[in-house]
Chains A and B, each alone.
Chain A
Amino acid sequence: MKQLRLSDDILLSVEKPARYIGNEINVISKDLSQIDIRFAISFPDVYEIGMSHLGLSILYDLFNRRQDVYCERVFSPWHDLEEKLRENEIPLFTLETQEDVKNFDFLGFTLQYEMSYTNLLNLLDLANIPLFSKERTEKDPIVCAGGPCTYNPEPVADFVDFFYIGEGEVMFGKIFDLYKANRKNGGSKEDFLESLLEVEGVYVPKYYAVTYKENGEIQVFSPTHPKAKSVIRKQVVKDLDVVAYPLKPLVPLIQPIHDRVVLELFRGCIHACRFCQAGMVYRPMREKNSDLLMEQATELIKNTGLDEISLVSLNSSDYTDLKKLTDYLIDEIGRKKQVNLSLPSLRIDSFSLDIMQKVQDLRKSSVTFAPEAGTQRLRDVINKGLSEEAIINGSKEAFKGGWSRVKLYFMMGLPTETIEDVEGIAQLGNKITDTYFSLSKESRKGRFKIVISTSFFVPKAFTPFQWAGQDTYQSFIEKRNHLNKMINKKHIQYNSHDAKLSMLEGVMARGDRRVGQVIYKAWKNGARFDAWSEFFDFDHWIKAFEETQVEPSFYATRKRDKEEIFPWDFIDIGVTKAYLWREYERGLQGKTTPNCRKACVNCGMKSFDGGFCSDY
C-alpha cells in the first residue's frame, strides 16, 4: 500500500485531501532502480486546474514513455495546506512517489498565464529550492519552464535555468540524452546547461546579458557565451499524426475543472486576429487525420470510463473533416456509449447549430459569440472576421433551434477604441434582444437571457499589437462604468474583469528582466494565487513596484516605436517582426487581412515547412 507523505491530522484537516495523494486511475508507477532521470512537472496552480490541462497530460505521457525517465506531478498546495506545510516544515513533494521535489533531477513548469508567476516562486520556496537560479547549487533540481507565457521568458528569467520554446515533443528526448551523458562524464550542472546551448529551442538565460538605454528601453541583448545562439527558434511538430498522444490519460479521483476526454483536432490557427498571441505563436495550422482521431476517441473512452468528449483547438470550425468526425462521435460513440460531445470554440452557423442540437441539452446550454469589439470598424482593426450579420443570423438560427441564451465576449481598450465602440457593445446586445422578440411567440422557447462579459485588452508579445499602449486603469474604469449604464439590464447581464489584474498582466506580458524583481517582491509581500479573485491583493504589487522603483506604465501603457528592441526579439516564432508591424499598421488603418486558407500574406511561417504552409 502506498505510503503517503502527510499524516491524517494534516490530510483530514485540509480541504480536498485527494489533491495530495496521487493514486489516480492510469497513474504511472515505475521501479526507481531502473530510472536515470526523475522529472517533476508542475502546473503552478491548484490540482483541479492543473489536471484539466492538456499540455501537462501530453508531457506527462511523453516523458514517461521513456523507460529511463520517471515524470511525476506537483501542483500548488491550496492555502490551507501551505500553512500546514510551513508550520510543520514539510517540504513540497510529488504526488506519485510522495518524495521531496528537491531531490529530483528536473523541476519543469508550464506557464499558462502571467498571474501564476508568484505561484511558481511559492512552489520553489515550499520545495526548499532557492528562488534565484544563481543561488541554486548542484543539489537542487534543474528548473525549466515552457508554455505560452515563455514566448516572453524575460520576467521570470532570473528564476529559471532554461526555457523550452515551442512544443515539447521535438527536443526533450535530446535534452534527456544530454543530461545522462553529462552525468556519466561526471559533468556539473553548469556543464549540462552549456551543452544545452547546442539544442534548438532551448534558452539558457544566464548566458545572455541585457543593457538598457537611459530611457529604459533595451540597448543590447546579446549572448555572453560563445556557443549561445543569438536567435532561439521555436520548436514545432511537423506531423501531429506521428507524435505520441496520451491515450491513457490520468483520471482524477476528485472532480477536476474539466472532467472529460480531450481530443486535440489541430494546433495553430489560420486566422490572424491582431490581439491574439496563440494565433501567432502556435502557427502553422497542423491538422490531425480524422480517422486517427476517431480511433483515439474510441480508445480514450475505453481507457478512462469518462462520459464526455471534448474537441479542442483554437477554432474547431476550421477543422477540414469536422462533419465526418462529429457524425462518427455522435453516432458511434455518443449513442452507443452514452457519451456526450462538447464543442467549445465553434463558430455559430447552421452547421454547428445542427451538431449542437444533436449533442446538447438546449435548456442548459447557451450559444457563444466572441465579437471582441462592439463595432464593425473596430472588429476590422483587430481583424476579427466576425460580422454583425453573422452574429445576428447565428442568434436567429439558434433561437429558432430552441436556444434562448446567448453569451458574448468583448475586450475593452483595444487600439483606436472610441466611446462609440464601447457603446456598440450595448447596442449589439440590444440588436440580439430585438432579434429574439421579432420571432413569433410560438417559436421562442425558454427564458431569454444575454450575458455580456468584457475583459480589458492586454497587448501581448508576438502580436501585431505588441507596439500598442495598454489603456490606463482610469480609462478602463470609465469605459466599464459607461457601458454598465448603457446596458439594458432587463434581459442582459453584464460581467467585467478586474482592471487591476489586467494592468498587471500588461506589465508581465511585455516585461523584461527587471520585472522579475517586482514578481519576487510581490511574492515576498504575500502575493500568490493572483489569478484567484479571492486571493488577489493589489497592495502586494503596489508595494513591490515602489520597492523596486519599477514604473508599471513603462511596460503597460507606453506606446512603442517601430525600432524598439523588445525583450522577446531574440525568439524566432517563424512569424516575422516585419509582418507583425505590417499587420499593426493595417490594423490602425482598419484594413483586414485574409486568413491562411484564402491567401498567404508571407508572415514568415513558411520557413518552418510544415502544416498548412506546406500546401503552398
Chain B
Amino acid sequence: MTIRFKFRKTGCMKYIGHLDLIRLFQKAFRKVDFPIAYSSGYNPHPLLSIAAPLSVGITSSGDYMDVKINENMNECMIDKMNEFLPEGLDFLSYTMLGESQKNAMSIVRAATYQVRLKVLDKMTQENITAYLAQEVILTQKKNKKKITVEVDIKKGIYDLALEKDDLKMVLATGSVLNVKPSFVIKTLCAFLKLNYNPFDYVIHREDLFYLRDGRLISLDT
C-alpha cells in the first residue's frame, strides 16, 4: 500500500534542505509508530519519496511525499506528527494510491509559483508579454556532468502573468523538462536590462501537477 501525503513547508523551514527534511519525516514516523515499510537488505531504509524536492530558500504549500506502508495507519497519527514536527512543516491531507498508480516523483510535470517582487520597476504585463514573445529564452545551466550548457527554457514556461505585486508562474517540473523559477527571473531581468539580485524575489511554490489527457491536474486530486 502506498499513501500520498500533501504537506507544506513554510516560514523558516525553507532553510532546511531535502535530506534533512527526509530525516525529520523519518523521526515523525518513528515518533507515532507509523506502519512505514522498510526496504529489504542489509541496511533497511524506510520507503518514502518526495516529488520534485524544493531548493533551499523556497517555501511551499503543496508538496507531496509517497510512503509505502505495511498496514493501515490510524488517522490520528497525522495530528500527532504535526504536533511533533517543527513549526512550518505540516501534513495537510493524504490519499491512498491504487495499485497501478505511479509514484509522485515520476509523474510530476509542472509546478505553480508565486513570486513576490520587492522591486516592481519595469515589471509590467506588456514587458512580460514581450519577454514571452522571444523566439528562444536562453539560460546557462549545469548539466549532470557539471558542464555549463546553454538551454532554451521557453517551452517550459507554460504561463507567466503579473498579479498585483506577484509574478505567477506555471513551469515545467520533473524529470522530462525542468525549469526553475530563478531561470525565468534571471532571463526576465536580463531582457528588461534590470540588475538581477536573487533576494529581491521571494519564491513560493503553490502546487505540483501531473498530465492527464493533455491537462495539468493537481497531485492532490
Contact = CB atoms under 8 A, between A and B. Distances in A.
A307 B199 contact: no
Given A18-B15, A303-B31, A361-B43, 9 more contacts: A1-B11, A12-B15, A12-B198, A17-B56, A18-B16, A23-B11, A24-B86, A253-B86, A254-B16
Identify which of A2, A27, A301 gathers the most chain B CB atoms within 10 Å of its CB.
A2
A255 B87 contact: no
Nearest to B198: A12
13 contacts: A1-B10, A1-B12, A4-B12, A8-B202, A12-B56, A17-B15, A23-B87, A24-B86, A25-B24, A27-B86, A301-B30, A304-B27, A304-B31
B38 interface: yes
Contact of A18 (B20, B30, B84, B87): B20
A253 B16 contact: yes
A8 B16 CA distance: 13
A591 interface: no
A24 B10 CA distance: 14
A208 to B, nearest CB: 45
A305 B87 contact: no
A254 B12 contact: no
Interface string A15-36: 0011001011101000000000
B28 A12 contact: no
Interface string B46-85: 0000000000110000000000000000000000000011
A338 interface: yes
A2 B12 contact: yes
B11 A338 contact: no
A338 B70 CA distance: 15
Interface in B189-221: 197-199, 202
A128 B86 CA distance: 31
A423 B217 CA distance: 72
Interface of B: 10-13, 15-16, 20, 23-24, 26-31, 33, 38, 42-44, 56-57, 84-88, 197-199, 202
B30 A337 contact: yes
Contact of B20 (A1, A9, A255, A302): A255
Given A18-B16, A23-B12, A253-B20, A305 B56 contact: no
B88 A338 contact: no
Interface in A106-132: none
Interface of A: 1-2, 4, 7-9, 11-12, 17-18, 21, 23-25, 27, 251, 253-255, 259, 301-307, 337-338, 361
Considering the complex of A and B, which 6 residue pairs feature the smallest CB-CB distances, nearest first? Answer: A305-B27, A305-B31, A9-B199, A17-B15, A305-B30, A1-B11
A23 B199 contact: no
A253 B198 CA distance: 25
Given A12-B199, A18-B15, A24-B86, A305 B20 contact: no
Contacts of B10: 1
Nearest to B33: A337
B202 A255 contact: no
Contact of A23 (B27, B57, B86): B86
Given A12-B56, A18-B16, A21-B15, A251 B202 contact: no
Given A305-B28, A305-B31, A12 B11 contact: no
Contact of B86 (A12, A25, A301, A307): A25
B32 to A, nearest CB: 8
Contact of A1 (B26, B42, B87): B87
Nearest to A22: B12
Contacts of B42: 361
A318 B43 CA distance: 31
B196 to A, nearest CB: 13
A25 B21 CA distance: 13
A335 to B, nearest CB: 13
B126 to A, nearest CB: 29
Contacts of B56: 12, 17
Contacts of A25: 24, 27, 84-86
A9 B118 CA distance: 13
Nearest to A9: B199
Nearest to B30: A305
B39 to A, nearest CB: 12
A154 to B, nearest CB: 41
Contact of B29 (A21, A254, A304, A305): A305
Contacts of A253: 13, 16, 20, 24, 86
Contacts of B202: 8
Contact of B199 (A1, A8, A18): A8
A23 B30 contact: no
Contacts of A27: 86
A7 B198 CA distance: 13
A344 to B, nearest CB: 21
A468 B105 CA distance: 64
Nearest to B201: A8
Contacts of A307: 26-27, 30
Nearest to B15: A17
B157 to A, nearest CB: 24
A253 B20 CA distance: 7
A27 to B, nearest CB: 8
Contact of A306 (B15, B27, B44): B27
A75 to B, nearest CB: 16
Nearest to A337: B30
A25 B85 CA distance: 6
A12 B56 CA distance: 8
Nearest to A26: B84
A301 B84 CA distance: 13
A425 B147 CA distance: 49
Nearest to A4: B12
Contacts of B199: 7-9, 12
B25 to A, nearest CB: 9
A596 B30 CA distance: 42
B116 to A, nearest CB: 11
Given A305-B31, A307-B26, A254 B20 contact: yes
Contact of A255 (B23, B85, B88): B23
Contacts of B88: 1, 23
A24 B13 CA distance: 10
A260 to B, nearest CB: 12
B20 A2 contact: no
Contacts of A301: 30
Given A17-B56, A18-B20, A338-B38, A11 B27 contact: no
B43 A251 contact: no
A24 B86 CA distance: 6
